[in-house]
Amino acid sequence: MAEIELGLDTFGDVTVDGDGRPVPQAQVIRDVVEEAVRADELGLDFIGIGEHHRADFAVSAPEVVLAAIAARTERIRLGTAVTVLSSDDPIRVFQRFSTLDALSHGRAEVILGRGSFTESFPLFGHDLADYEVLFEEKLDLFTALLAEEPVTWSGTTRAPLDGARAYPETEAGLRAWVGVGGSPESVVRAARHGLPLMLAIIGGDPLRFAPFADLYRRALAELGQDPQPIGIHSPGHVAATDELAREQLWPHYRAMHDRIGRQRGWPPMTREQFDLAAGPTGALAVGSPETVAAKVVRAVTALGASRYDMKYSAGTLPHDLMLRSIELYATEVAPRVREELATTAAA
């Protein structure tokens, strides 16, 4: 954990300008590129861009955005948060990311998941009744493609393959994770395929995910797989003080929660619920650099994680506030986290 990777995630949430008006999706995409460039300049390890097919998120083709970022950055690793593999073709996903890997000189990663939104299923002609089998079969095929050898495969969700290969080849392999929300079945599936695990912790105490991390490690060992890293994806926002961070984030986080809640049957979020989530044991890493660093250290220590990605975008949170949050995360949170973990490791 002393060698923790600290990254960022965004879904390309449609933001508002200084007058509270929605920013056009095209500008949001350009802003995401600028945010990633700033993260690279400040030395952060990773930028992950989510895939959505909705009006409130601007990015539906993250690989294209990542390619633009690759052309303007030097060291930051480039990936997704997540790629909805269930409604995509595994060969095309591999080809897009191996191409990104070439453009970025080996910096590409892919985080594969089923996604918490389902708009892509009808959009691309898939039946939600096949939700489980689509992901299981396509992950099986994608894992086979990672070896970059001829693949013979058959299943129920696409035509069989006989000695097929996917191009372009990478120079040193493609790093692929499985993103999960915390179900035991999903954790064991990731272990069965021998892929790193990314835990999406978006609610509750992060420490309640420790049993899933333990299950994953036990499953890897029992299945004869090599040890793999565990990562954490969790929302956050950094400002000069705890009070300022909460006041900046609250109206935009509430707008996002309530918009999605109207579709899913959730009640409106109260300020008390938000403050609890932003508190010492909540999932939201919101506050001053000292507060956010302490929450990151607490979470990665409990789970034995080696990657922490803060989802810095939240609903309509404006671009300038996100840029400032990124700067504080990179220049003040990251050093504190690394120092604390190094001290703990030495002890």
Provide CB contacts within 8 A for 279, sequence distance 6+: none
Give the mean pLDDT of 199-212: 97
Q: Given a cut of 80, is residue 321 above it in pLDDT?
A: yes
Give the mean pLDDT of 36-51: 98
Calculate what percentage of the chain has a pLDDT beyond 90: 97
Domain ranges of the chain: 5-346
Q: Given a cut of 50, is residue 37 above it in pLDDT?
A: yes
Rounded Cα distance, 103 and 92, in Å: 17
Check residue 346 and give its pLDDT: 85
Q: What is the CATH number of domain 5-346?
A: 3.20.20.30
Give the mean pLDDT of 27-46: 98
Pick the closest to residue 83 from 236, 161, 171, 195 (CA basis). Answer: 195
Residue 197: DSSP 8-state: E
Give the mean pLDDT of 87-108: 98
Cβ(252)–Cβ(308) below 8 Å: no
Check residue 112 and give its pLDDT: 98
What are 178's strand-pairing partners? 112, 197
Q: Given a cut of 50, is residue 1 above it in pLDDT?
A: no
Over residues 293-306, the pLDDT tens digits come to 999 999 999 999 99
pTM: 0.97
Helices (H), the chain: 25-41, 62-70, 90-103, 120-123, 131-145, 184-192, 210-222, 242-264, 271-277, 289-303, 319-328, 334-346
Cβ(45)–Cβ(5) below 8 Å: yes
Cβ(295)–Cβ(228) below 8 Å: no
Over residues 231-281, the pLDDT tens digits come to 999 999 999 999 999 999 999 999 999 999 999 999 999 999 999 999 999
- Cα→Cα distances 89→93, 114, 145, 334, Å: 6, 13, 12, 36
